[in-house]
Structure 1
Amino acid sequence: MNRIRRTAVGTVAAAMALALAACGVAPSQGSTELADEPVTLRATWWGGDTRHARTQEVFDLFEEKHPNITVEPEFSDWTGYWEKLATATAGGNAADVIQMDQLYLASYASRGSLVDLGSLSQLDTSGLGQPVLDMGAWNETLYGMPISTTSTGLLVNTDLIEEIGVPLPDTSTWDWAEFEAWAKKVTEKSSGDTVGTGIMNTEFPLQLFARQHGDQLFSEDDIVIQPETLTAFFQLALDWTASGAAAPASNQAESTGLALDQTPFATGKTAAVFTPSTMITAYAAASGAELELVPLPTPDEDTTKYDYFKPGMYWSVSSKSEHPAEAALLVDFLVNDPEAAKIIGTERGIPANAQTLESLGQDLTLDERKAADFAEQREPHLGEAPAIVPNGASDIDTILQRYLQEVMFEKQTPLDAANAMIAEIQSSTDAAK
Structure 2
Amino acid sequence: MRHSRPTSVSALLLIGALGLSACGGGDGGGEGEDVALSFTFWGSDTRQQITQDVIDLFEEENPGITVEAQFGNWDGYWDQLATQVAGGDAPDIIQMDEQYIREYADRGALMDLDQVDLSGLNETVAANGRLDDAQYGVTIGVNSFVMVANPELFQEAGVDMPDDTSWTWDDYADIAVELSDNLEGAYGAGAPREPSGFQSWLRQHDKSLSTDEGTLGFEPEDAEEYFEFYLELMNAGGTPPASAMSEDQNIGTEQSLSGSGQLALGTWWTNESVALSDGAGVEFDLLRFPTESGSPEDAKPWYKSSQYLSGYSRTDHPEEVQQFIDFFVNSPEAGEILGVERGLPPNTEILADLSEDLEGMEAVSAEYIEAIEPELGPAEPATAQGGSSFSQILYRYQDELFFERVTPAEAAEAMYSEMQSQLQ
Counterparts of 2:228 and 2:10 in 1: how far apart (Å)? 33
Aligned-residue offset at 1:366: 2.3
The 3 A distance-change label for structure 1 pair 156 and 370 is same
Number of residue equivalences: 419
Unaligned 5+ residue runs, structure 2? Answer: none
1:403-422 matched pairs, under 5 angstroms? 403-422=397-416
Identical amino acids, percent of aligned pairs: 36
Using structure 1 for the length normalisation, give the TM-score: 0.92
Counterparts of 2:101 and 2:31 in 1: how far apart (Å)? 28
Q: Which residue of 1 aligns with 2:50?
A: 54
The 3 A distance-change label for structure 1 pair 337 and 109 is same
Unaligned 5+ residue runs, structure 1? Answer: none
Aligned-residue offset at 1:226: 2.2
- Tell me the SS of whatever aligns to 2:215: coil
8 Å CA contact 2:289, 2:299 repeated in 1:
no
8 Å CA contact 1:155, 1:272 repeated in 2:
yes
Counterparts of 2:31 and 2:346 in 1: how far apart (Å)? 29
Aligned-residue offset at 1:35: 5.2
1:68-83 matched pairs, under 5 angstroms? 68-83=64-79
Among 383, 389, 395, the alignment partner of 1:389 is 383
8 Å CA contact 2:95, 2:310 repeated in 1:
yes
1:139 paired to 2:135: no
8 Å CA contact 2:23, 2:88 repeated in 1:
no
The 3 A distance-change label for structure 1 pair 178 and 28 is farther
Q: Which residue of 2 aligns with 1:199?
A: 191
Aligned-residue offset at 1:69: 0.8
How far does the alpha carbon of each residue in 1:181-238 deviate from its partner, in whole angstroms, 9 at most, with x for none?
11111111114x1011111131222112111122222212111212222111111221
Q: Which residue of 2 aligns with 1:149?
A: 142
Q: Which residue of 2 aligns with 1:292?
A: 285
- Tell me the SS of whatever aligns to 1:232: helix
- Tell me the SS of whatever aligns to 1:261: coil
Q: Which deviates more from structure 2 when the two are superposed, residues 45-54 or residues 284-293? A: 284-293
Q: Which residue of 2 aligns with 1:41?
A: 37
How far does the alpha carbon of each residue in 1:85-105 deviate from its partner, in whole angstroms, 9 at most, with x for none?
111111111111000001000
Among 88, 101, 104, the alignment partner of 1:105 is 101
Q: Which residue of 1 aligns with 2:360?
A: 366
1:181 paired to 2:174: yes
8 Å CA contact 1:187, 1:195 repeated in 2:
yes
1:130 paired to 2:130: no
1:271 paired to 2:264: yes
How far does the alpha carbon of each residue in 1:28-67 deviate from its partner, in whole angstroms, 9 at most, with x for none?
9889x99532111110101001100100000010010011
Counterparts of 1:27 and 1:327 in 2: how far apart (Å)? 21
1:311-350 matched pairs, under 5 angstroms? 311-350=305-344
Q: Which residue of 1 aligns with 2:202?
A: 210
The 3 A distance-change label for structure 1 pair 320 and 311 is same
Q: Which residue of 2 aligns with 1:351?
A: 345
- Tell me the SS of whatever aligns to 2:32: coil
How far does the alpha carbon of each residue in 1:348-398 deviate from its partner, in whole angstroms, 9 at most, with x for none?
001111112112143322211111111111112112213210101111110
Counterparts of 1:306 and 1:376 in 2: how far apart (Å)? 15
The 3 A distance-change label for structure 1 pair 224 and 352 is same
- Tell me the SS of whatever aligns to 1:331: helix
